[in-house]
């Protein structure tokens, strides 16, 4: 297993979405509730919080994980143990080109930091599209690893999170607390 990345940039590789030929799934516990991990057979294609607004069901024909999701599960365990501050995984979220641009921008938000929907819109070259960024953020199929919880309102307020504002606050507080002694 690779060592945890103490700080720095995520090494999340976005793969093109593929037809799901051998979908697999795994449920893992976490401090914010059970997480459902989905794979398209080659990359992580979903990470859903139990009871989230856009939570996925296990796809028909999907098989329980045979180990392909092991690295994602290990990195999430390290994250929740306060030992991992960036992820290094291949992901294949399914979405429009605009959504995928937004999701790529999300992985650039450092651990423990936040930014606004407007800042993300400017980052992707669409400075007037903050509402569209919010909608794309809300449809992110790979929560935590593609850190949509780090996006806040322009005023600094916690706004919309598919997993619920309470979980968003927990994740942000966890990251700030864990990062505190290292800053």
Q: CA angle at residue 170 from 110 to 32, to 5 degrees?
A: 105
Cβ–Cβ contacts within 10 Å for residue 89, how many?
Answer: 19
CB crowding 150-164: b at 16 or more within 10 Å, else e:
bbbeeeeeebbbbbb
What tokens does 15 get? 């793969």
How far, CA to CA in Å, does 76 sit from each of 28, 66, 123, 174?
A: 9, 18, 27, 14
Q: What is the maximum span of the chain, computed from C-alpha positions, in angstroms?
A: 46
Q: Write out the H or E segment, with its range, that includes residue 39.
A: strand 35-39
Q: Which residues are catalytic?
A: 148
CA distance 87 to 108: 11
**DSSP states of 70-82:** HHHHHHHHHHHTT
């Amino acid at each position: 297993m690779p060592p945890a990345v103490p700080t720095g940039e995520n090494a999340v590789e976005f793969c093109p979405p593929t037809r799901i030929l051998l979908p697999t799934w795994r449920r893992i516990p976490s401090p914010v509730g059970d997480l459902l991990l989905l794979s398209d057979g080659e990359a992580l294609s979903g990470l859903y919080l139990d009871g989230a607004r856009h939570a996925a069901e296990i796809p028909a024909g999907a098989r329980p994980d045979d180990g392909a999701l092991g690295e994602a599960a290990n990195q999430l365990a390290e994250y929740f143990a306060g030992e991992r501050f960036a992820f290094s995984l291949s992901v294949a979220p399914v979405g429009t080109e605009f959504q995928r641009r937004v999701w790529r921008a999300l992985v650039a938000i450092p651990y423990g930091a936040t930014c606004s929907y407007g800042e993300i819109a400017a980052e992707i070259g669409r400075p007037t599209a903050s509402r569209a960024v919010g909608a794309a953020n809300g449809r992110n199929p790979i929560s935590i690893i593609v850190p949509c919880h780090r996006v806040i309102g322009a005023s600094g307020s916690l706004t919309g999170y598919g997993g619920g504002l309470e979980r968003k606050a927990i994740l942000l507080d966890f990251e700030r607390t864990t990062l505190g002694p290292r800053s």
